[in-house]
Amino acid sequence: MTEKEHTIVKIQSLEGKVLVTWSDGSVSPFHFIWLRDNCRCADCGEPTIGRRTLRLTDLSLDVRPTDITVNHYANRHGSSRESPSCLKTDQPGTGQVGIDQSGISQLAIKWSDGHESIFSDHWLQTYRYDRPFRISQCFKPPLWDRPILEHPPEMLFDEVNSSDDSLLEMLCHIRDHGLCFLKGAEAKDGVLEPFVNKIGYIQETNFGRVQDLVIDRTKPSIANDVTALKTHTDEPYRASPPGILMFHCIATDVNGAGSSTFMDGFQLAEILRQEDPEGFQALAQNRQTYRRHFAGDVDLVTEFPVISIDEFGNICGIRINDRVASPLNIDETQIEIYYRGLKRFLQLTEDPDRMILRILQPGDIAIFDNHRILHGRTTISMKGKRWLQWMQIERGDFYSTLRITADRLNIPRDANPLLRGAYS
């Protein structure tokens, strides 16, 4: 949904496009083939719900309007206000027509293949693809600042577990800040799974469906070591790394050792971009190889950038875990720049002033976006027992639940994709 509804005030047919001028003065091009392919009438179907009868292979790429009519209505309930304004486009060339700015409008098109389509101004506003609009619609979450570091989002488990309003609030905290803590859950096995299922399907990996993080020197996992664990993102060696991670504390070290640490990877990447733009670009444009290999069990290898950015340069994902980094295999002209940028980024991941330290108490749950938030922990004492249960869900399922929950509460929300994640 756009922030403000705009009506069509002028249309022009030019070089295979309909140029729509909106009541705010902006202009959007809509290519003929794009409009014809996106007809949502009963005959063509609605692809977003899986009902699509129109096939692009059945269309001519040279399809064009024979005329375009703009229908006007006084309000969004559909009462007619005036006669249509019509733009004939039977002959090659250009044409344009001006339209009153009040009320609402629909674009009705008759096509050269005999079909007719109608597009509401709201629909066209939602899916317009001119570059300024696309830039304005990019989801850019706020970076962590001092207030977030000192008072990160925190809620009560029972409220989130029993109320759609509180559930949506928690989901929005994770969307915007990448992290939320829950207090007051029962400190026992089996509490986390039904809660996770409220948000999305549990994502199973070679570590299993439910991971019990308990000190056990017999298991080949760094998570079972007692030494401090530097902040990182989990499993960058997967083509699709874990999405939303949840840690439920069931028992903690009796000495209070073993603080969980969290950092905003987007904030660190932005600092690097300001300090060393060339080093930032090296980490965003070159692929780092990651590998996890346990003989006879798993051998996972991927190549992805440490920093993922979209086509407009917005940071949308982080993969950083030097413990599973393989030898770099990039153009020789990039090696020194890359290492300079990587060293500085790793230095930033060790900065305690940009870190949240939280000793998870029995009943605490930490929920965070693994494509943004780095996590780790301080040294654990062997005198006590530290037991965390860990589960994860896909980020796509997380965003789906956010939208559906907002719909249940009749709260406007964005139907477009949000953060793309660490997939550049």
CATH 3.60.130.10 assigned to 146-408:
yes
Question: Where residue 82 falls among pLDDT bands split at 50, 70, 90?
Answer: very low
Q: Distance between terminal CA atoms of the chain?
A: 26
Which pLDDT score is estimated for 223?
A: 53
Helix residue spans in 236-276 (DSSP H): 265-275
366-405 pLDDT tens trace? 999 999 999 998 887 656 677 899 999 999 999 999 999 9
Task: Please give the pLDDT value at position 43.
Answer: 93
Say whether domain 8-136 belongs to CATH 3.80.10.10: no
Under DSSP, is residue 19 helix (H, G, I), strand (E, B) or coil? strand
pLDDT in tens, 18-44: 999 999 999 999 999 999 999 999 999
As a residue count, the chain comes to 424
Average pLDDT over residues 211-232: 71
Q: Which residues pair with 302 in a beta bridge?
A: 290
Instruction: Strand 65-73: give its sheet, edge to edge.
Output: 85-88, 65-73, 104-111, 116-120
Please report the pLDDT score of residue 94 as a whole number.
Answer: 45
Instruction: Read off the pLDDT of residues 305-316 as tens digits, 9 standing for 90 and up.
Output: 999 999 999 999
Instruction: Please report the pLDDT score of residue 58 as a whole number.
Output: 94
The span from the CA of 391 to the CA of 195, in Å, is 10
In the three-class reduction of DSSP (H, G, I as helix; E, B as strand; rest coil), residue 165 is classed as: helix
Q: Domain extents for the chain?
A: 8-136, 146-408
